[in-house]
Amino acid sequence: MNKYLLILICIYILLVSCVDDKSTILDPMDLIEFEEDFKVNSSVSKETQNTSVDKTSKPVTSADGRNEDSKSKGDSMVVENEDSSVTSNENIENSSSKIKSTWQDVNKGANQLESRILANVSEKVDSIRGPLRSSTKQEELEAIQIDDTLGAKGTIKRPEVSLPVPTNAVNQQFNGSNTVYDVTDNSNALWDIQGAVTNDSLTPTPTSTKINLTDGKKTTTSNLLQISTVIDKEEDFTDLMEYVNKMSDPFEMRLASNKRSFKTYKNHTILVELKNNSDRAIPASLDFNFPESWKVISVNELGVLQPQTKKMALVSFFIPSQYEAGSVTPTISLIAGSVNLKTLKLAFTVEKNYEMELIPISSPQQLQAGELITARFGLKNNGNVEQRVELSSRNTIKGERNVLIPMDSTYIVEIEQKTDSNAKILRRIGVYLEARTEESGAILYGSQNVEVIPTKTVQKDPYFRYPMSASLYFNSYTNSNTHYSTISAELKGRGYLDTLRNHFLEFIIRAPKKENLRRFSTVDQYSFIYNYKENTTLYLGDHSYYINRLGYGTRYGMGFKLDQRVKKWTFSAFFVKPRLYNYANKPLYGLRAEYNVNDAAQVGLTLEHSQGNVFAFRNQISQNDKGEIATLDYNFKRNKTTFEGELSTSYNGEAVGYAGNFNFSQGIRNLRLNSNLLYADSKYQGNISNSLQINNNINYNPKSFNFGIGHSISKIQRRLNPEFFETEPFFESLYATAGYRFSNKHHINFRFDKRTREDKLDPKQYHYEEYGFNYNFTYNNRSFNGSFGGRFAETKNLLVANSSFRKTYSNRLNVSYAILKNAFLRGGLNHIYTNRYGKLDESTNYFRYNVGINYRLRKNFSLNANYTSGFSPEETFEKRDYLNLNMKLRVKKKHTFEIRANYYENPGRLNMKEFFGFGKYTYSFGVGVQRVLRQGGILGKIVTNNSAINTKGIKIYVGGKTVVSDENGNFEFNNLNTGIHYLFIEDASLPFNVLSKIKNPIAVEIKQDEHVLIDITLVKAATLAGKLQLTNERLALETNLSSFIKVENDDFTYFLESNESGEFLLQNIVPGKYEISIIRFKNGGESYKYLPNIQVVLKEGEDRDFKIEITAKEKKLIFKNNNLKVSVQ
């Protein structure tokens, strides 16, 4: 509903009240949409009785946007009684009563609507208000969207209700004065209701009573009594104060909004409720006693406070960022003129402001490779408390890393970064700063980039090379009975043989053959692998051929293997004869075919034949594995589904054996099922025999939680090489797990299980049954990693007859801490109290600890050292390392040094510790197999005969590459394609008033595998100040010497212009001999005579004045005898 509809509603109410003698109350809830503010003003005329009032009406904007003068409108409604005899005092009094009642209803509705809108607006003003504005005019406030209580939606501006009346008129009690009621909205449309008032009641007039309802014009008639009461003098306000003081509580003020805590550096809006409990209308305004640094942005004007009504005021203010945090008690006063009617004391809290700003201040835009980058950042504390800041950077911070910054101050941080003087390419190096405030935990990041320009570009290898390396080994072995050492050499290669990557070759040649080498697993070896287009692969020499998990397994020896892909098929054939040990030297050979059903599924068939070998089987020597094995395998993997299966059968001429191996995994959202089955009967001749392994588990991971249940059985008996392996234990376990991840840094896990474990070595160290509970907590961050856990269990030792369950406790702690940026120190403690081990059925304490260190310096150096004090009896089937030391050093990419030390026990051996020492040097290189580049380069130097000219930092471009000259003026370009290239010198990088003696660009011819030598000479620039000098100026016919001039020699040409006086100036000229010529005069050259070419020599740094003599065509008087005519030529 727009403003015009509001006008019509009010007119209708007044008409009904005055003419139809019906009471109508304006319901503000019917006014759903507003485009303008609702105002209530009172205007009192100071004219005397029976004086006609005629004021010019205000222009009114019509619905179509045009301005209309209310005088020209014919829509005013006049209700009058022309017959005075009909008019009675009672009728007039009733009309006055109706008018007063209607006015009160309108005013009441406006106040209700105002309160409702302001309450809604107050909550939303702060969210839309922008930065602190210089203007506080209420009409500049932004439009906002609110939802009406009835559900309708409209656009309004912040209401301006009851603005003060210019005349300071108040609607007082009827005391014989004529009272004028004005109701005004933002369209400036007025309704004037006037009546004669005498002794607090309306009385008839001698002639007639007229009630005018006009749009935009105030009118009265001369027969109306009219007395004005205006508060515009100090004594009026004094009388008002005396009247107010007679009442116990004439005015009330309260903070209607709930907000009491405020942030700095923000705009805030509060809602103040005002109530006039008196029976007088008061022209009032608000006065603020806020802290001096606070700024009141805007407040809606109060205007007239009507009797017994409430009014809402929106107050917006700004708190500066540095205002101190804590309690503050500002006040707001209600005033009328100079009279303080009421003061509201506020209890506010200014919140702590931790705002911090990280500002990049300075850094060089570019510098030469090898120079030091120095960058500066500013940390500005915009908050109202001092803050401690922790600084970090991957660059070098000069000064303290933990600083205290007072409020309203800036701390300068200086960061340095070294650059590589050997850099060969132009790089942009970032300088970074990270600042973390301890009070708020906020992290700020800042960065600046610097262009680092090399003095020479990288020289690329013109050949495509096959990578190779040559190594020298030293091995040392010691135990309690013996000691020996060996030296061997190795040549290795691995890479493609062509740029198209069709041919791939990998080989190892290690010699000589030494029996003791096998103790170190670095035996003599001759191995070759060739691959062509990923379709054909050939293995020759010594290899460990692994075909299936089932079957005969892997055997290291001399032989071959050929894989050939044909469409979806892959066919393989292999042969290997072990050669390291006399008891395992029989050949193994076979065939295999594999078919790729699709990208997710493959099926294969393998046939193997073994001539028989000696292996350990439960510590017993077995020689009866001669025979054949056929194995069918199937693999499938797609999305969250995985299946791997093998079915195998063996035949040794006497019996047939069977084996199978199946793995299945299926994921469904947060749920995953895993299942594994491995079985081999006692007659199976593969590397696994008489074995069973079952593993089934279900894991569920909803968000941060994880749950799982599972069952495992493992009774694996392998045919092993007794030199390096021993039989693993049997075990069975039924378990359930649960865990929770608090964050990416820490999580906790629990496990409940029932298990049995049995040692399969001789003598048997343990066989027990146990019920237990495990717990484990892990914490990780960049500098510290730690975990602790333990186990509580009931254990029964099955090696002891009639053993009962006893308590088992275990605890462990492992930590790792970054003592330097790339160095970590780690350690661990482990304690077990149990009766699991041995045949004495006694509970024993087992203590172990370990310490270690890791350090890595990029790719050039690494160190890893670890010491473990001991191992439990359950780990004897594995190799046990007490001391491990590994160190690797890389020098200039081609040289590598390695050292390894190992103090250990082999599987199945107790109290038989051994020491192994290892050293290796490797030189890496490449063999050129194909030339790919035909290029050359430039070796240049910036030279000068003037010692004052700095030749460092001159920027040169060629072929898309950029370098700068070093401190000696040298620069170098590499990898330039053969042919003509153009070298450019950046003029902006030259010192002031210095030029290159060679003209830009410089043409250079690049030849293959050659570097062109070039010198660029710098000189101080010369200046030529010239003038065209007229030799006969007094008699010249033309004196305008504006012209175009050319200054040139074999290398440089300059064009310039002279002014009307013939003066010209040419700066930044390369010194040398030049020829100056006048191309033409702007006004034509037929009036002048001059030499066509003039020679001039300019020296380095010279400022030369030069004149060119010009002879102009002269004026002549010619007298003729006839007719006495005179002409000028």
Q: Give the relative orientation of helices 89-128 and 3-18 as an angle to the nearest 10 degrees.
A: 160
Residues β-bridged to residue 757: 731, 768
Run of H or E including 12: helix 3-18
Cβ–Cβ < 8 Å for 794, 834 = no
- Top-ranked range on mean pLDDT: pick from 133-142, 359-368, 804-813: 804-813
Q: What is the pLDDT of residues 578-609, one digit of tens each?
A: 887 666 678 889 999 999 999 999 999 999 99
Structure tokens at 274: 């005002």
Q: What is the CA radius of gyration of the chain?
A: 52
pLDDT score, position 622: 53
Cβ–Cβ < 8 Å for 170, 231 = yes
User: Cis link prior to 729 (omega < 30° from 0)?
Assistant: no
Q: What is the pLDDT of residues 938-995, one digit of tens each?
A: 999 999 988 889 999 899 988 888 899 998 999 999 888 888 888 988 888 889 889 8
Q: Indicate the residue among 453, 473, 492 that finishes a domain.
A: 453
Amino acid (1-letter code) at residue 150: L
Cβ–Cβ < 8 Å for 453, 366 = yes
Cβ–Cβ < 8 Å for 509, 526 = yes
Q: What is the pLDDT of residues 383-403, one digit of tens each?
A: 889 999 999 999 999 999 999
Under the banding of pLDDT at 50, 70 and 90, the label for residue 905 is: confident
By DSSP bridging, strand 1103-1112 and strand 1022-1030 are parallel
Domain count along the chain: 4
Query: Hey, is 17 helix, strand or coil?
Result: helix
Residue 370 vs residues 189, 366, 949: alpha-carbon distances, Å = 80, 12, 22
pLDDT score, position 81: 36
Q: Indicate the residue among 1005, 1020, 1035 that finishes a domain.
A: 1020
Under the banding of pLDDT at 50, 70 and 90, the label for residue 756 is: very high
100 plus 226 within the same structural domain: yes
Domain membership of residue 231 (yes or no) is yes
pLDDT score, position 524: 84
Domain membership of residue 30 (yes or no) is yes
Domain membership of residue 1013 (yes or no) is yes
Where in the sequence is the domain holding 958, given as residue range(s)? 933-1020
Q: Which residue has the tokens 């969250």?
A: 640
Rounded to a whole number of angstroms, the distance between the first and last alpha carbons of the chain is 91
Q: Which residue has the higher pLDDT, 452 or 519?
A: 452
pLDDT score, position 130: 38
229 plus 258 within the same structural domain: yes
Which conformational region is residue 75 in: left (phi greater than 0), alpha (psi within -120 to 50 degrees), or beta?
A: alpha
Q: What is the pLDDT of residues 236-276, one digit of tens each?
A: 566 666 766 666 778 899 999 888 999 888 899 999 999 98
- We report the CATH number of the domain holding residue 1016 as 2.60.40.10
Domain membership of residue 497 (yes or no) is no
Domain membership of residue 1128 (yes or no) is no
Domain membership of residue 335 (yes or no) is no
pLDDT score, position 21: 39
Amino acid (1-letter code) at residue 319: I
Q: What are phi and psi of 771, to 5 degrees?
A: -115, 130
Under the banding of pLDDT at 50, 70 and 90, the label for residue 548 is: confident
pTM above 0.85, yes or no: no
953 plus 1094 within the same structural domain: no
- Quick one: 266 exposed, middle or buried, by C-beta within 10 A (0-12, 13-18, 19+)? middle
- Judged against a pLDDT cut of 50, whether residue 525 lies above it is answered with yes
pLDDT score, position 1032: 81
pLDDT score, position 29: 35
159 plus 228 within the same structural domain: yes
Q: Indicate the residue among 1020, 1054, 1086 that finishes a domain.
A: 1020
366 plus 411 within the same structural domain: yes
Residues β-bridged to residue 930: 464
* Measured distance CA(678)–CA(694) in Å, rounded: 6
1044 plus 994 within the same structural domain: no
Dihedral, 39, 44, 45, 48 alpha carbons, nearest 10: 160
1041 plus 1083 within the same structural domain: yes
- We report the CATH number of the domain holding residue 1065 as 2.60.40.1120
Q: What is the pLDDT of residues 868-885, one digit of tens each?
A: 998 888 877 777 889 999
Q: How many alpha carbons lie under 13 Å from residue 437 in its C-beta half-sphere?
A: 22
Q: Angle CA(987)–CA(989)–CA(995) in degrees, nearest 5?
A: 45
- Judged against a pLDDT cut of 90, whether residue 90 lies above it is answered with no
Give the max Cα distance, the chain. 166
Residues β-bridged to residue 1116: none
Dihedral, 54, 59, 61, 66 alpha carbons, nearest 10: 130
- Quick one: 356 exposed, middle or buried, by C-beta within 10 A (0-12, 13-18, 19+)? buried
129 plus 206 within the same structural domain: yes
Q: What is the pLDDT of residues 631-641, one digit of tens each?
A: 999 999 999 99
DSSP 55-120: -PPPPEE-TTS-EE-GGG----EEEEE--TTT--HHHHHHHHHHHHHHHHHHHHHHHHHHHHHHHH
Domain membership of residue 304 (yes or no) is yes
104 plus 236 within the same structural domain: yes
Q: What is the mean pLDDT of residues 426-436?
A: 91
Please state the separation of Cα 351 from the chain's center in Å.
28
pLDDT score, position 483: 86
Domain membership of residue 251 (yes or no) is yes
Closest by Cα among 746, 766, 769, 742 to 756: 769
Under the banding of pLDDT at 50, 70 and 90, the label for residue 127 is: very low
Task: Kindly report the average pLDDT of the chain as a whole number.
Answer: 77
Structure tokens at 713: 């059985």
204 plus 150 within the same structural domain: yes
- Judged against a pLDDT cut of 70, whether residue 521 lies above it is answered with no
1102 plus 984 within the same structural domain: no
Under the banding of pLDDT at 50, 70 and 90, the label for residue 157 is: very low
215 plus 301 within the same structural domain: yes
Q: What is the mean pLDDT of residues 1077-1093?
A: 77
